[in-house]
Structure 1
Amino acid sequence: MRSGELARAAGVNPQTLRYYERRGLLAEPRRSPGGHRLYPAGALTTLRVIKAAQRLGFTLDEVAELVDLGIHGHGRRRDTSLQRRAAGKLTEIEARIADLRLIADSLRAALDAGCDDLVTCATSERCPALPSLWPSSRPA
């Protein structure tokens, strides 16, 4: 399969294929006599795995580890590979969601307080974005 065909089938841009090759996520393909990249059929599966892992929140470095585990980790116990990594990623994502909820609450409070200027708001004891900086809000 040529690079354009593979890119279309996987829903990525042809430059993405070359980037994944440089990162070691996708094996460098053989070349046709005319110099075109010719990918094996398994490259499409690899790309689908990469994209699925990214949708699950894994970084490309983490995807590379997961792909390597998939290639070299057959026969390992389930809790030492994808299961463990997915559980860790879920914990990380849930923590980020909690942080985003706090940010959303602070933004709502800033809107409710009528903050029009961050500098003025930050110097006020009413600033909802910086309550922990004021002595009255610190625990004794």
Structure 2
Amino acid sequence: MTITIGDAARASGVSEKMIRHYEAIGLVRPARQANGYRHYAEPDIAVLRFIRHARDLAFPLEDVRRLLALWHDRGRASGEVRRLALGHVAALEAKAQSLQAMANSLKHLAATCHGDDRPDCPILDELEGKH
């Protein structure tokens, strides 16, 4: 049984727009009917769910592509999947540290701002590049 893109979107939790994007970049390859309409089978829905879960974990699309290839390869080594996952963990942790540093900088700037009717504002000065 095959279903349309709207049904595939509902079944997978991936928007129609993103399904079209994933098709355009080759992550999913639905069958096309003579009229040009896409038709999705259960394996296509499984791939879309896999992509959605990977993207929910913020894997970049290239990593999603690699993970899909590993998922389809029953002779894969799980160590390769683990290395990809741990590499992504390291990238997420680095990003979290960077975001925390930005938050700390903004907290410091906000603490130096009087927040009253005066026009002087160290936050705007910093954004302008005045030190």
TM category, shorter: 0.7 to 0.9
Instruction: Please give the alpha-carbon distance, in whole angstroms, between the structure 1 residues aligned to 2:98 and 2:126.
Output: 23
Q: CA RMSD in A?
A: 2.0
> Which residue among 14, 17, 20 is the counterpart of 1:15?
17
The alignment covers a number of residue pairs equal to 121
Instruction: Please give the alpha-carbon distance, in whole angstroms, between the structure 1 residues aligned to 2:77 and 2:9.
Output: 34
Pair 1:69–1:120, CA change in 2 (3 A): closer
Structure 1 partner of 2:42? 41
Identity percentage over the alignment?
A: 30
Helix, strand or coil at the partner of 1:105: helix
Higher mean displacement: 115-124 or 92-101: 115-124
Q: Which runs of 5+ in 2 are unaligned?
A: 114-121
Structure 2 partner of 1:117? 124
Aligned partner of 1:11: which letter? G
Structure 1 residue 30 corresponds to structure 2 residue 32: yes
Instruction: Please give the alpha-carbon distance, in whole angstroms, between the structure 2 residues aligned to 1:104 and 1:91.
Output: 20
TM-score, normalised to structure 1's length? 0.76
Work out which of the two has the higher radius of gyration on C-alpha atoms and give 1 or 2: 1
TM-score, normalised to structure 2's length? 0.81
Q: Which runs of 5+ in 1 are unaligned?
A: 125-140
Report Cα offsets for 1:49-72 as digits up to 9, x if no partner.
001001111111211111012113
Aligned partner of 1:38: which letter? H
Aligned partner of 1:50: which letter? I
Task: Tell which has more relative contact order, 1 or 2 (C-alpha 8 A, sep 6+).
Answer: 2
Instruction: Please give the alpha-carbon distance, in whole angstroms, between the structure 2 residues aligned to 1:49 and 1:67.
Output: 8
